[in-house]
């Protein structure tokens, strides 16, 4: 996949209407609907401010949550959750949609920009079209939640065409959504010249650079719960990494595959043969494949679990592995200290429980001290680094969980592939 894409600086935007796809899928309080973190809105500001400074008229769009755009499908989903279909009215469905309106985002974005953000009542309806037509250079309009349209997730060409008809240029800056071929992330590029914003440019520079031309040695740290969710990543990284470090819940499947006792630890027995194959493949390719040598285990999956330190593969019955042990921490930190590039995706243990966060914390600290280029995949590893206070010490923290994972697998991302090559 070509990671060298044209950016917003490579096209003329002055006096033009620009359709800008952002990732405003912000966390909200379930009761009040208040935005609990505006990080994703802040991340979009550099591109928005650049466009406004260049006298572009910005038509921003985003999804928020998973609204069901069809009343019938909403009823079916609610019934599956045990709700009485007779009690499900169109009024209730519309209320469920209203909770996922982007209006609070428009308000917060306006506060951050220090100027009014015009809010459209729909995506491609009369209100959106009228407001887009009236938009002047230096002004910004936010369309309503793109997933309120049935055709969004199906990449409906008619919806994409209708969105594109309001603008002259398309700028993609929602890395968290580029792994999905939706109308607003990929379809619109069939009708408009498409380039990246600064956020996606940074992701492509760091993630693309780490894979295509890494400063060596390249060390990949892979954690998280399941081997099955990291198959593609391990396979792809075995082709390019010098060292692969395995931690988290998936390490117990590797341990069991080598004949170890894992007690009640997370285990995917169906993936034990695959785990053996990966170890053999690493050996054949001369890639160091590091697995835990000791484990901190608990008598239950809880923050107040009793804990004990055991050798890897010697977890007693009734106990489960919840973190890597001190010898493993030393082994892994030594491997990272001499790295040129480090990619980290997935925590080393149950970092949400303070008693079992030491392995993850030690890795974050080791990465903060290395001179290597440090790239943190989105999702739990990003959350861990931020929670532990090391975010500002990393070269790059990806804004997309699923997208960064598919990137590391070497998959083509539809929302990137559709952009013009530089």
Is 226 labeled as catalytic in the residue annotation? yes
Per-residue pLDDT tens over the stretch 102-145: 999 999 999 999 999 999 999 999 999 999 999 999 999 999 99
The rounded distance, in Å, linking the Cα atoms of 417 and 180 is: 11
Q: Which pLDDT belongs to residue 135?
A: 98
Listed residue (140, 160, 164) closest to 149, CA to CA: 160
User: How many CA atoms are closer than 13 Å to the CA of 215, on its beta-carbon side?
Assistant: 11
The residue-averaged pLDDT of 166-176 equals 97
How many other CB atoms sit within 10 Å of the CB of residue 321?
29
Q: Which pLDDT belongs to residue 181?
A: 96
> Is residue 250 predicted with pLDDT exceeding 70?
yes
List for the chain the helix, strand, coil content (%; round to 5): 45, 15, 40
- Surface-to-core class of residue 81, CB atoms within 10 Å of its CB (0-12 exposed, 13-18 middle, 19+ buried): exposed
Listed residue (210, 211, 271, 263) closest to 246, CA to CA: 271
Per-residue pLDDT tens over the stretch 313-350: 999 999 999 999 999 999 999 999 999 999 999 999 99
Q: Which pLDDT belongs to residue 318?
A: 96
Q: Are 44 and 120 in contact (CB under 8 A)?
A: no
Q: Are 335 and 245 in contact (CB under 8 A)?
A: yes
Helix (H, G, I), strand (E, B) or coil at 378: coil
> Is residue 408 predicted with pLDDT exceeding 90?
no
Q: How far apart are the first and last CA of the chain?
A: 13
The secondary structure element, H or E, covering residue 284 is helix 272-285
Per-residue pLDDT tens over the stretch 77-107: 888 888 887 787 888 877 777 788 999 999 9
Q: Are 293 and 347 in contact (CB under 8 A)?
A: no
Is 110 labeled as catalytic in the residue annotation? no
pTM (predicted TM-score): 0.88
Residue 161 vs residues 13, 190, 295: alpha-carbon distances, Å: 20, 8, 55
How many other CB atoms sit within 10 Å of the CB of residue 13?
23
Q: Is 55 left (phi over 0), alpha (psi -120 to 50) or beta?
A: left
Q: Which pLDDT belongs to residue 67?
A: 84
pLDDT band at residue 33, thresholds of 50, 70 and 90?
confident
Percent of the chain with pLDDT over 70: 100
Q: Within 370-412, where are the H helices?
A: 380-387, 401-408
Residue 325 vs residues 81, 174, 294, 297, 329: alpha-carbon distances, Å: 41, 38, 5, 9, 6
Q: Which pLDDT belongs to residue 387?
A: 83
> Is residue 56 predicted with pLDDT exceeding 70?
yes
- Catalytic residue (one of 226, 281, 330, 411): 226
- Catalytic residue (one of 5, 40, 147, 358): 40
- Catalytic residue (one of 110, 232, 340, 402): 402
The rounded distance, in Å, linking the Cα atoms of 41 and 105 is: 8
- Catalytic residue (one of 187, 379, 400, 415): 379
The rounded distance, in Å, linking the Cα atoms of 343 and 375 is: 5
* Residues whose CB falls within 8 Å of the CB of residue 86, separated by 6 or more in sequence, listed in order: none
> Is residue 256 predicted with pLDDT exceeding 80?
yes
Helix (H, G, I), strand (E, B) or coil at 235: helix
Torsions phi, psi for 323 (to 5 deg): -165, 160
Is 209 labeled as catalytic in the residue annotation? no
Q: Which pLDDT belongs to residue 191?
A: 98
* Token pair belonging to 329: 């921490």
Sheet of strand 140-142: strand arrangement: 117-119, 140-142, 57-61, 17-21, 169-172, 194-196
pLDDT band at residue 212, thresholds of 50, 70 and 90?
confident
Q: Which pLDDT belongs to residue 16?
A: 98
The secondary structure element, H or E, covering residue 233 is helix 231-240
Q: What is the mean pLDDT of the chain?
A: 93
Per-residue pLDDT tens over the stretch 261-315: 999 999 999 999 999 999 999 999 999 999 999 999 999 999 999 999 999 999 9
The secondary structure element, H or E, covering residue 315 is strand 314-315
The rounded distance, in Å, linking the Cα atoms of 257 and 247 is: 15
Is 300 labeled as catalytic in the residue annotation? no
> Is residue 48 predicted with pLDDT exceeding 80?
yes
Q: Which pLDDT belongs to residue 224?
A: 87
The residue assigned the tokens 């997730």 is 153
Q: Within 12-166, where are the H helices?
A: 39-53, 71-80, 90-98, 103-113, 126-134, 157-164
pLDDT band at residue 378, thresholds of 50, 70 and 90?
low
Residue 309 vs residues 248, 337, 345: alpha-carbon distances, Å: 15, 25, 25
pLDDT band at residue 399, thresholds of 50, 70 and 90?
confident
Helix (H, G, I), strand (E, B) or coil at 295: strand
């Amino acid at each position: 996949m070509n990671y060298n894409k044209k950016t917003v600086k490579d096209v003329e935007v002055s006096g033009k209407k620009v359709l800008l796809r952002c990732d405003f899928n912000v966390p909200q309080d379930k009761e009040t609907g208040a935005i609990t973190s505006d990080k994703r809105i802040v991340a979009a500001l550099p591109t928005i401010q650049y466009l406004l400074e260049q006298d572009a008229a910005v038509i921003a769009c985003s999804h928020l949550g998973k609204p069901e755009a069809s009343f019938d499908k909403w009823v079916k989903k609610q019934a599956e959750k045990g709700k009485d279909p007779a009690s499900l009215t169109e009024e209730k469905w519309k209320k469920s949609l209203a909770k996922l309106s982007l209006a609070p985002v428009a308000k917060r974005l306006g506060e951050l920009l220090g100027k009014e953000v015009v809010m459209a009542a729909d995506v491609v309806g009369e209100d959106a079209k009228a407001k887009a037509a009236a938009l002047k250079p230096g002004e910004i309009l936010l369309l309503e939640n793109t997933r309120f349209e049935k055709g969004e997730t199906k990449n409906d060409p008619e919806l994409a065409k209708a969105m594109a008809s309001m603008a002259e240029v398309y700028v993609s800056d929602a890395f968290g959504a580029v792994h999905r071929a939706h109308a607003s992330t990929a379809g619109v590029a069939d009708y408009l010249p498409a380039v990246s914003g600064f956020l996606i440019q940074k992701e492509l520079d760091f993630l693309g650079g780490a894979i295509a031309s890494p400063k060596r040695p390249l060390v990949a740290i892979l954690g998280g719960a399941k081997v099955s969710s990291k198959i593609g990543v391990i396979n792809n990284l075995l082709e390019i990494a010098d060292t692969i470090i395995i931690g988290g819940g998936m390490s117990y499947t590797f341990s069991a595959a080598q004949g170890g006792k894992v007690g009640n630890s997370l285990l995917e027995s169906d993936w034990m043969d695959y785990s053996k194959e990966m170890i053999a493949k690493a050996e054949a390719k001369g890639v160091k494949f590091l697995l835990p040598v000791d484990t901190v285990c608990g008598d239950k999956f809880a923050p107040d679990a009793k804990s004990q330190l055991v050798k890897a593969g010697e977890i007693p019955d009734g106990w489960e592995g919840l973190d890597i042990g001190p010898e493993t921490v030393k082994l892994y930190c030594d491997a990272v200290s001499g790295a040129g590039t480090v990619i980290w995706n997935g925590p080393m243990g149950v970092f949400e429980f303070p008693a079992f966060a030491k392995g993850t914390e030690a890795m974050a600290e080791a990465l903060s001290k290395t001179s290597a280029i440090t790239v943190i995949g989105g999702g739990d590893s990003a959350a861990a680094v931020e929670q532990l206070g090391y975010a500002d010490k990393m070269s790059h923290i990806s804004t997309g969980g699923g997208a960064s994972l598919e990137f590391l697998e070497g998959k083509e991302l539809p929302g990137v592939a559709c952009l013009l090559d530089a």
